[in-house]
Structure 1
Amino acid sequence: MTTSNENGRKGEQPAMRTPAIVSQQAWEEARQQLLVKEKALTRARDALAAERRRMPWMPVEKAYAFEGPAGNVSLRDLFDGRRQLIVYRAFLEPGVFGWPEHACRGCSMVADQVAHVAHLNARDTTLVFVSRAPQADIARVKARMGWDMPWFTITDSFDADFGVDEWHGTNVFYRDGDRVFRTYFINNRGDEQMGGTWNYLDITPLGRQEAWEDSPEGYPQTPTYKWWNWHDSYVANAAPDQKWVEISDAGEAAFRNQPTNTKA
């Protein structure tokens, strides 16, 4: 195997020690052995999310202020009328490597993973990024990089108070009327998994809000799959599209009829 080094010249690399080359039957047997462990991991992940939904809440008593495209806003305003708020602290500010053309490479990698926020919004959840850069710089970098998520400027001690003054991290909040509570926090390698709709919902206090989840009594839940929609077609408080309900019901029935050992 050859590869180009940083100077553009091709150099030899040690041969890779690749896995065994086997028949289709042997490959299927190996996959089934691994699938047992993968299923166990999925069940453990679901159990951990259920435990996360039962974590205690910490009241946020201090009034925090941010600057947004339309002016000054509060932490409660960041919810945008929804009950759940996910706040990722991204490093985009003077002194950060890449400034002023870019945000931090790591935080930019996280931003590049973010799925369309309409799916989170449909689950009563808002995702925002926050940094210390002025709004004009945030708008410029967002346009350059093609990022659409709401992005606000930190103007006070929010970053220091919530563990993200010297490092990235994701905080989760819940709004009950005028009261705001901190419900979860993840950073370091935990942020690697963020970006997908499911992983974001799994760290919220209400979860995915689907009927199969193990959630405390009274938590909102709707039939699995039925709320899914095209990201440009969600309508607030609208009933699930009947055609999609029929299609997803048929898919679930087909899945249930598969041999147990073939299901992921």
Structure 2
Amino acid sequence: MRTPSIVTPDEWEAARERLLVKEKELTRARDALAAQRRRMPWQAVEKKYEFDGPNGKASLLDLFEGYRQLVVYRAFFEPGVHGWPDHGCVGCSLMADQVADVTHLKARDTAFAYASRAPQPDIERLKARMGWKMPWYTITDEFDADFGVDEYHGTNAFIREGDQVYRTYFINNRGDEALGSTWSYLDMTALGRQEQWEDSPEGYPQTPPYQWWNWHDAYEHAK
């Protein structure tokens, strides 16, 4: 292993400052990309999809849990997938380990769910074993094929206007590996983080940054 040079503290700080310029450029580029996502056209979801959930049958609208937005990750846990029936796909399981407490997403009017083709008893067993808390539904129809996740994992974002659901964005492949934090999920949604500094279309909901942050057990919807 050929290691970098060893330098003094001043030299190290100078090197860091040079790299920090590029890091800030990357941050601004991510913000600009998220602003473009908020201006993406919406695709109307006309078909009625049905899932099995811990409380019985559920529609795609039910997955919103009354919130305005929904983020759904398609995880591969089902017969024919490596690890079955003891485990889900290694990559999808690593993703599940990264998912932040979804209570923070709900504070921004956004629900979150996993979806697989495994039956609910197997999903509940796996969640208990691995300590995963996110809602996890069973796909029973063409939802995965219709939204680009029948052969590989991916994350879809939706929004609703009343009972009408729209697809607003989709991330898969290496784009998924950056997801897991509250911010990464909000940045892919149509409404974004909903903070005043964001470049969003006129009329989008926004509040001052930091103001809405809270302990995950202190939000009103978590009590």
Scaled to the shorter chain, the TM-score interval is over 0.9
Aligned counterpart, 2:201: 216
Partner of 2:172: 187
- How far does residue 193 in structure 1 lie from its aligned partner after superposition? 0.6
Q: CA deviation at 1:152?
A: 0.1
Matched, 1:23 2:17: no
Q: Residue 173 of structure 1 is aligned with which of 116, 141, 158? A: 158
1:191 is displaced (CA, Å) by 0.4
Describe how 1:79-228 pairs up with structure 2 within 5 A: 79-228=64-213
Distance in 2, matches of 1:51 and 1:69, equals: 36
Aligned residue-pair number: 221
State percent identity of aligned pairs: 72
Alignment partners' CA distance in 1, 2:161 and 2:3: 54
Identify which of 57, 63, 68 aligns with 2:42.
57
| 3-state SS of 1:123 partner | coil
Structure 2 unmatched runs, 5+? none
Partner of 1:171, secondary structure, is strand
SS at match of 1:130: strand
Counterpart in 2 of 1:256?
A: none
Q: Which amino acid aligns with 1:90?
A: A
What TM-score, normalized by structure 1, do the two folds share? 0.83
Q: Secondary structure at the match of 2:111?
A: strand
Once the two structures are TM-superposed, the CA of residue 205 in structure 1 deviates from its matched residue by: 0.3
Instruction: Tell me which amino acid in the other structure corresponds to 2:132.
Output: W
Q: What CA distance in whole angstroms lies between the structure 2 residues aligned with 1:160 and 1:209? A: 31
Normalising by the residue count of structure 2, what TM-score does the alignment of the two structures yield? Answer: 0.98
Query: 1:165-205 CA distances to partner (integer Å, 9 max, x unpaired)?
Result: 01000001001001000000010000001110000000000
**What is the alpha-carbon distance in structure 1 between the residues aligned to residue 42 and residue 83 of structure 2?**
37
How far residue 100 of structure 1 moved from its aligned partner, in angstroms, is: 0.5
Cα shift at 1:235? 1.3
1:75 aligns with 2:60: yes
The answer to whether 1:231 aligns with 2:210 is no
Bigger radius of gyration among the two: 1
Residue type of the partner of 2:156?
N
Give the Cα–Cα distance (whole angstroms) in 2 for the partners of residues 44 and 94 of structure 1: 41
Q: Supply the distance in 1 between the matched residues of 2:204 and 2:114 (Cα, whole angstroms).
A: 27
Where relative contact order (Cα < 8 A, 6+ residues apart) is larger, the structure is 2
Where does residue 20 of structure 2 map in the other structure?
A: 35
1:123-169 CA distances to partner (integer Å, 9 max, x unpaired)? Answer: 00011000000000000000000000000000000001100001000
Amino acid at match of 1:183: T
Q: Tell me the equivalent position of 1:5.
A: none
Which structure 1 residue ranges, 5 or more long, are not aligned? 1-15, 237-264
Query: Helix, strand or coil: the match of 2:71?
Result: strand
RMSD between aligned alpha carbons? 0.5
> Which residue pairs with 1:259 in the alignment?
none
